[in-house]
Structure 1
Amino acid sequence: MDAIETVETDAGPARVTWHRAKKPRLVLAVSHGAGGGIEARDLQALAAVLPGHGVSVALVEQPWRVAGKKVAPAPKTLDVGWRGLWPTVAKPGLPVVSGGRSAGARVACRTATELGATAVLALSFPLHPPGRPEKSRAEELLGAGVPTFVVQGGNDPFGKPAEFPNGSHELIEVPYGDHGFTVPKRAPIDQDAALGIITEGVVRWIA
């Protein structure tokens, strides 16, 4: 971590924590889900690994998190916050990959074309509410309009990899992983291996 910026948006102040590459060629701006923050293990793993591959990582905290609220606001308000902080992540003048986990992935998909994102990284995209496959959000994912990379846990109750529609996106599976990419103790892979699948997959895709 080498800098924290507070950014005023129409939804309130947001916060950007930079993990900069020495010679960056890309920025990955990535935000958290509706129930957690940037301490999520997948976000931290990407922030630790990607700067070594020429990618500056901007971990974004939405205004509701900065304000200390426990519950995320409506999707439209999340989009307002994301739009407001975009100039900050685009300021280095590099291509920006728009990313997020869960609700943050939905925001990235909904706003990618409008904001000029180079691509979208969707971590644990919530394809539907648990147990409600009929309430599909596939249109958001398929409508991103830019190259999209999905990283999905094999046991994600918000949508298992096999449930995803065919489309222009690429998808990799974290075997046995749940919505937070936690793998059970009895699984044949451990937590470090699960995170390795995520970081190696993203490094390969971004390259």
Structure 2
Amino acid sequence: MRIETSAGPAEVEIDRPGQAKPAFLLVLTHGSGGGVDAKDILAVRDSAVQLGGAVALVTQPYRVAGRRAPGKADVQDAAWLEIIAALRKKVKGVPLIQGGRSNGARVACRTAQEAGARGVLALSFPLHPPGKPEKSRREELLAAGDIPVVVVNGARDPFGIPDAADAAEVRVIPGQAHSYRAGFDEIVAAVLPWLERWAS
């Protein structure tokens, strides 16, 4: 489905569980130059649907338009909130969890409070540009406030690994960089217990 936003159209694929009403709505999006077909995103989607959640994979407007860079954060965030509002009309009356990988994780953290999210899943949260730890994005991670954020990063991520004190949970996948080539079972193992609180 397409959702029109102030930044252009977004494309959304929704997977629903077998039961009539899902237990929760999980909305996930991609990194700057990537897509929602990233293996970590798909692994999380599959496990969330098995738990009884509805999962929306969002291709943001700048990627639909063919751009690799997301542009201004305020424009991206405004479009994200419009997407969330539209999705909540499609999947009503269930807890919202939002997240993404890399840049998508940044958007999910920045907008969590305004979106009314119950939790944030941050895959490969880019704490700083590679080699520039002084340019920390810690404030974006903390923007979620008292909404629990679960971070899953690779041990060799050149963008850094958030401090355990700055999130509800930080899980580090051994041997992996920013884009995961393995460790998908470990990613799911990190995320499942957290999602299960909304599945019951």
TM-score between both structures, scaled by the size of structure 1: 0.88
1:150 maps to amino acid = V
When the two structures are aligned, how many residues end up with a matched partner?
191
Shift of residue 143, structure 1, vs aligned partner: 2.2
Q: Is 2:28 the partner of 1:30?
A: yes
Aligned equivalent of 1:126:
126
Between the aligned residues of both structures, percent identity stands at: 45
Task: Name which structure has the greater RCO, CA cutoff 8 Å, separation 6+.
Answer: 2
Helix, strand or coil: the match of 2:45?
A: helix
What do you get for the CA RMSD once the two structures are aligned? 1.3
Shift of residue 44, structure 1, vs aligned partner: 1.3
Shift of residue 89, structure 1, vs aligned partner: 2.3
Q: Is 2:82 the partner of 1:84?
A: yes
Structure 2 residues not aligned, in runs of 5+: none
Structure-2 separation of matches of 1:43 and 1:104 = 11
Structure-2 separation of matches of 1:62 and 1:128 = 22
Shift of residue 32, structure 1, vs aligned partner: 0.4
Q: How does 1:1-207 map to 2 (within 5 A)?
A: 5-23=1-19, 24-91=22-89, 92-93=91-92, 94-145=94-145, 146-160=147-161, 164=163, 166-182=165-181, 191=182, 194-207=183-196
The worse-fitting range, judged by mean Cα deviation, of 71-80 and 163-172 is 163-172
Shift of residue 168, structure 1, vs aligned partner: 4.3
Structure-1 separation of matches of 2:163 and 2:62 = 29
Aligned 8 A contact 1:78 1:107 in 2: yes
Shift of residue 195, structure 1, vs aligned partner: 0.3
TM-score between both structures, scaled by the size of structure 2: 0.91
Runs of at least 4 residues of structure 1 off by over 4 A?
none
Aligned 8 A contact 2:119 2:148 in 1: yes
Helix, strand or coil: the match of 1:49?
A: helix
Shift of residue 21, structure 1, vs aligned partner: 1.4
Shift of residue 20, structure 1, vs aligned partner: 1.1
How far does the alpha carbon of each residue in 1:7-36 deviate from its partner, in whole angstroms, 9 at most, with x for none?
000000001111111232011101001111
Aligned 8 A contact 1:109 1:144 in 2: yes
The worse-fitting range, judged by mean Cα deviation, of 42-51 and 56-65 is 42-51
Structure-2 separation of matches of 1:141 and 1:69 = 25
Shift of residue 133, structure 1, vs aligned partner: 0.4
Structure-2 separation of matches of 1:168 and 1:49 = 22
